[in-house]
Structure formats: C-alpha cells, structure tokens
Structure 1
Amino acid sequence: MTARPRIKDVAELAGVAPSTVSVILNDVPGARVNTATRERVQAAARELGYLPNGLARGLRTRRSGTLALVSDVIASTPYAGQLIQGAQEAAWEAGYLLMLVDTGGDEVLERSAIRALRQQQVAGVLYATMFHRLVEVPDLLAGLPVVLLDARSSREDVPAVVPDEEAGARTAVGTLADHGHRRIGFVLDRNDGPAAAGRLAGYRAELAARGLAWDETLVVRAASTSDGGQEAVGTLLDMPEPPTAVFAFNDEMAVGAYHAAEDRGLRVPEDLSVVGFDDLYVLAREMRPGLTTVALPHRAMGAAAARSLLQLVTDPTAAVPSLQLIACPLVRRGSVAAAPHRR
C-alpha cells in the first residue's frame, strides 16, 4: 500500500515550509501568501493526492465541512429524492457533505438531533418540511446559519426557499383557458396554509386576466386525497351548469376527478379536462390518460436553499434573499383537450 501523503511531502515538493502548506490548503483567514506560491502548493497537493485533515480543520475553525438537512418526514415521501439530490449536488460543488436527519415530526427527537449536529460542528442547517407551511425555527438552531426549505417563518431574518404557488396555479388555469375552457372548477384542500392560499390566489388572478368571471360555487374544498377529490368534483359535475375543466389542488385530488367523471359516464379529457399540481410521478404518469400537472420544483428548491446556506456559512453578512420563489413548470400529458360544446 502507498502511504498517505503528508503536509511534509507537499512542502518538500513545492519547496516551501510545512506551515506555509497548512496556511494555503486550510484557507487560513488573513494569511498573506503570494499567488505563485499558492499555485505551486496547490499543484503539489494535486500531484500527490493530498487532502487536508477535515477533522483537524473543523476543530481549529469550529466549523466542519458538513451541512445538515433536518426534516419532518421528507425522507419517507416520494418527493425526497429530488429535494435531497438538489441540495446534495450544491453542497458537493462547494466541497461540503450533506447530512440528512429525518425526525418523523417528533419534537423530542428533533431536539436531540439538533444537539448532536451541533456537537458535530455542522456548518449550517437546511430546515425542511414535507409540504409548504409556516414553521417556528427551533431555538436550538440559534447562532447557526439556517435556511428554510419548502417552509417559511414569521421571522424575516431566516431565509426561505419555497415553490411559487401562485404562478404555478396561474399556469394551470391558463393552460385550460388556452384550450377554450370558460367554466373552470377548482377543488381545493380544506386546510388553510401557504400552498392553499397561493394556489387560490393564482386561480382567481388568472381568471381575471382572461376576462372570466369569478364564481365562488366553482371552488369546492375537501380533503386533499383521492376520495376528497372524487367527492368535490362530483359536486361540481352535478351542478346545473357543470364546469368543462377542473384544476385540482394536488395530483391525488386529480385522481379523484377521474373517478368522479367515470362515475357519471364522462371521459377525460373529451368531456372533462383535468390539471393537477405536484407532479407526483408515480400517479401522474400512470394515469390513463396521463395527468397534465404543475410540478413542484423539488430539485431546484434543494439546490437554491443549499447555495443560500453556503453563502451564509462563508459570509454571515451575505445579502441572501429573505424569500426565494422557485418556478413550478407545467408537465404536459394527456388530460387536457379542447372544451366540449354543451347545451
């Protein structure tokens, strides 16, 4: 086996003192080293395959090369992969590792996990939730760089990265309007929150932009599940003048829309067009026809949040936006068609 290269080996190859190598490769703040020497040492380290001792550097700077993603139940949801991948890629690009902690929504476990992370001297924390909601930032995170991911706080000093719910809803409604639909129903989660409020605001705004009248009877609130969607869309389809299209709060409610249409002998999209929200891949792609939906940009959100956190880690005074809205793209499949002509 080849012995692991040491600072002494790099110093001999570069023709400098070991202390100079340590200063350069560990990025010691305020160190005065000319560019030629710095480049010579870095080249020698690359040639020998030398890596600085991360543990020793962490003990000296009181900061490790590790970020943490603390979540409630993200790791057990279908969204986890893209969210974590986006954050991990951004961390790796900057030379950091990402540590994942899923607390399952257990506050006691969360406190214990945060204490353990602080003992490990993590450089910063992404505090994430499985759906866009308001949170209280744990006091135990005080003093650490923190960025909220798919969540926001009443505290303006904690940056947040969230999906642009309103713009995503406008995209959904605009797509239906582009196909000639003038009566567009909206089945909405019965629980209030940033996602429900943003999507309702987008629905109303796009109707107004298209010159379509607001009709509160076309908005039906229900549980954000397949059964809830089936019940809510059934209510819309049983109206004297039913809508020709439905925008669903999420893909699960959109599945219910398919069932409600089938119960009444209607076809999607010939008799009823449907647009969902989330792009829950295991549902949206496998529906027949495939569900046109607005995607939650999990990978882009994860990456944006990690980059903001890294800015704060390297410079606590960095001008990081207090709120970043990430665009939600439309994924076209087969559930939207031209509005049918009805008497």
Structure 2
Amino acid sequence: MKKHSTPTMWEVAERAGVSQATVSLVLNKVDGGRVAEATKARVMAAVDELGYRTNAYAKSLRSGQSGMIGFISDEVASAPFAGKLLKGAQLCAWEAGNVILGVDTFNENELEAAAIDMMLSYRVEGVVYASMYHRVIDVPASLQELPVVVLNAQDRAGLVPSVFPDEELGGYSATRHLIEAGHTRIGMINIQPADSDLPAGIGRLAGYERALNEAGLDVDQRFIRYGTGIVEDGLEHTRNLMDQRNRPTAIFCGNDRTAWGAYRALEALGMSAPLDCSIVGFDNQDTIAPYLSPGLTTVELPFERMARTAVQLLLDKRGSGPNQFPIECSLIPRESVASAKVPA
C-alpha cells in the first residue's frame, strides 16, 4: 500500500498555477500588495484542496518567531476556578495567531526548571508566570533572557509587569454595597490571620475599612474576625458575631467558602440571609455562589481579564512604564443582601 505523502509547497504552486515564491508570499501574508486578489484566492483554494500545512518549526527557524507563548503555573490547571486564567490566556493568544505552551509545575522546582529549559529551546515569544492565588513571588533567574509577565501575583523585585486582582477595590465595592443598603454595623470575616503578608486578605480588609471611613462609620474591631478561608471559619465566626449584644446586620466574608459557612451558622441559629443578616462574599466561585439559597452577592475575581491583559502585555513587548496592573473585581449582586431594618 502506497504511503500517503504530505503535500508540499511546490504541489500547491503547481495546483494554483503560480510560483513557489508567490505561495510563500501569500501564506506568510507579506506580499505587500504585489499579489492580485484572484491569485491569492487560487493559492488558498489549492491549500484547502491539498490539505497543505505549513512547517511551523522551519518557519520559526527562518523568522526567529515561534508563535508560541509559554505559560508556567504552580497549580492553576488543577484549581477549580483559577483554571480560567489558562482559558483567558489561550483565547487571547489564539486571537493573535499564537498558541500557548503550558506546564503546571505543582510547585516542584525540578519540574519548573525543566519547563523553563523546554520553553527556551522552543524559542517561545515570552512567558506568562502564573500563580493559583494572589501572592508575592520571585521570578526565576533563568527567565531573565525572555519577556515575562507575572499573572495573579506580584513580582517581588518589581522588574517585570505584574497583573493581579485589585483586592482593595473589591473589598471596598463589597462593603460599599452593604452601606448603600443602609447597613451601619458591618462585620468582616477575613481569609487569613492578622499578621499574614498575603495581598488578598490585606487588600480586602483595607477596602472594607476605606468604605467605612468614607461613609463616616467607625471601624469596630469587635466586628472583625480572622479565618483561613474555609467553610468552618464562616460557621464559627458568624456564630460568634451574632452572639454579640449589638450584633452586625451585615457581614462581608473574605471569600465564598467563608460566606457558605456564614449561611450555615445563621441557619443553625434559626436565622437566615438576608432577613436577619445580609451576606457578601468574594471570588464568585461558580460552584458555590449561584447555588446557595438565596444566591450569594459576591465580588468576582477577574481571571480571564487578567490573563488576557498578561498575554497582551507580552505581545505588545512593552518597555518602560508602569509594572503593576491591578484589574478591577466586579460586584455580582444576587439575593443575599437586603435593606437594613430600621431599629424599633
């Protein structure tokens, strides 16, 4: 049986009745107006009929451009919602005619080193260096010869662009929404200890405090609790807050899992949201927020927008200028917030 051969550029040229040079000009989109539209149409028809595919590797050797963007992450691909980072990066790269070469390292140094070496050998256009959660990181020295953008994290040295969620604005928006509903006694359950240096909890608390100060309300430390971002924290701290004599009428939870725990605590106390206490979360985790009853008002982490911004920064090959790009976290209103009750 005769082995099927891969169509060549010469065969495309023969089918279209043009030279190989003309085929090359058309496929590489560098004809500069020298090739007539009718000729271009014949070349592309011959490409389709023969099933011709360009040799991407050979093309990259000639042009010095691989058309690939590296995407190195810790555990993004396996995260339940942060995987949207990879989706956003892929879509933006594809729209610009590039593909993503991605590796999840699972925080293993040897795997990360191997991934960087592979991407250097493939001559990627640059690397998006992504984190599953917002933190301050050190970019590997081995990436210094490539354009790099840090995603969902901040470069400690401040030498490369960093794209991350605007945590403070998100906390401000959540708290402001409760204030606009008439609440003046607003609790907060944060997602990390008071002495943690993670930007997420620091920013969300700062936004909460800024909204209260702006509205002329005191930041009452009796209404602030520190957890670790799990359901059990929301359960424990909400019970504690609601046991106070002058208890809050609303609680801003530092993430949706904490808010889920807050719902459970209210139910255990014979209460409900928003009748007895309005609740706002953070993340807009699509496996939780829409399915709580009532639906959870929350702040959305802009994973896809962040990833698109990161890839676009790489493609733009930006030089000097700002290196920090905080992306707005949008409020997603649902049914867990009601107007504050007027005291009898």
Above 0.5 in TM-score?
Answer: yes
Q: What SS class does the counterpart of residue 305 from structure 2 fall into?
A: helix
Equivalence for 1:54: 56
Q: Output the aligned Cα RMSD.
A: 2.5
* Residues 311, 320 of structure 1: 8 Å contact kept: no
Q: How does 1:252-331 map to 2 (within 5 A)?
A: 252-312=257-317, 318=319, 321-331=322-332
Contact 1:24/1:38 (<8 A) preserved: no
Label 1:323 to 1:40 Cα distance change in 2 as closer, same or farther (>3 A).
farther
Counterpart position of 1:202: 207
1:42-91 Cα offsets, whole Å, 9 max, x none, are 54543333543211012234441211211111111111442222111111
- Structure 2 residue 186 is the aligned partner of structure 1 residue 220: no
Partners in 1 of 2:36 and 2:329 — Cα distance? Answer: 44
Separation in structure 1 between the aligned mates of residue 320 and residue 20 of structure 2, nearest angstrom: 37
Unaligned 5+ segments in structure 1 are none
Corresponding residue number in structure 1 for 2:245: 240
Greater Cα offset, 286-295 or 317-326:
317-326
Cα distance in structure 2, aligned partners of 1:263 and 1:64: 58
Q: Residue in 2 aligned with 1:339?
A: 340
CA drift of 1:244 comes to: 0.4
Amino acid at match of 2:254: F
Deviation at 1:214, TM superposition (A): 1.9
The equivalent residue for 2:167 is 165
Aligned-residue sequence identity (percent) comes to: 41
Measured in 2, the distance between the counterparts of 1:228 and 1:104 equals: 27
Secondary structure at 1:214 match in 2: coil
Q: Which shifted more, 41-50 or 111-120?
A: 41-50
Contact 2:212 2:219 in 1 (8 A): yes
Letter in 2 for 1:155: A
Letter in 1 for 2:337: V
Would the aligned equivalents of 1:290 and 1:334 in 2 still touch at CA under 8 Å?
Answer: yes
Distance 2:95 2:294 in 1: 40
Can you list the C-alpha shifts for 1:243-269, whole angstroms capped at 9, x where unaligned? 100001101111111122223222111
Return the TM-score normalized by structure 2.
0.88
Per mean C-alpha deviation after superposition, the further-off stretch among 72-81 and 270-279 is 72-81
Cα distance in 2 for partners of 1:243, 1:147 equals 42
Q: 1:13 offset after TM fit, Å? A: 7.5
- With structure 1 as the length reference, what TM-score do the two structures score? 0.88
The code of the aligned residue for 2:159 comes to D
1:36 counterpart SS class: coil
Deviations, residues 247-297 of structure 1 (Å, cap 9, x unaligned): 011011111111222232221110000000001111111211111110111
* Larger CA deviation: 152-161 vs 122-131: 152-161
- Rounded to whole Å, the distance in 2 between the matches of 1:243 and 1:39 is 70
Displacement after TM superposition at 1:156 (Å) = 2.7
Displacement of 1:165: 1.1
Query: Aligned to 1:58, what secondary structure does the other structure show?
Result: helix
In the alignment, is the contact (CA less than 8 A) between 1:293 and 1:331 conserved in 2?
A: yes
- Letter of the 2:310 counterpart: A
Q: What residue identity is the alignment partner of 1:322?
A: N
Native 8 Å contact 2:297 2:336 kept in 1: yes
Query: How far off its partner does 1:235 sit?
Result: 2.5
Structure 1 segment 11-50 matched on structure 2, within 5 A: 18-19=20-21, 21-22=23-24, 25-26=27-28, 34-37=32-35, 43-49=41-47
Matches of 2:77 and 2:260, distance apart in 1: 24
Paired AA for residue 161 in structure 1? V
SS at match of 2:179: helix
Report the residue type matching 2:334 in the other structure.
R
Count residues with an aligned counterpart. 335
Q: Structure 1 pair 318/140, CA: closer, same or farther in 2 (3 Å)?
A: same
Q: Which residue of 2 aligns with 1:66?
A: 68
What CA distance in whole angstroms lies between the structure 2 residues aligned with 1:310 and 1:14?
A: 34
Instruction: Return 5+ residue gaps in structure 2 as ranges.
Output: none
The match for 2:216 is 211
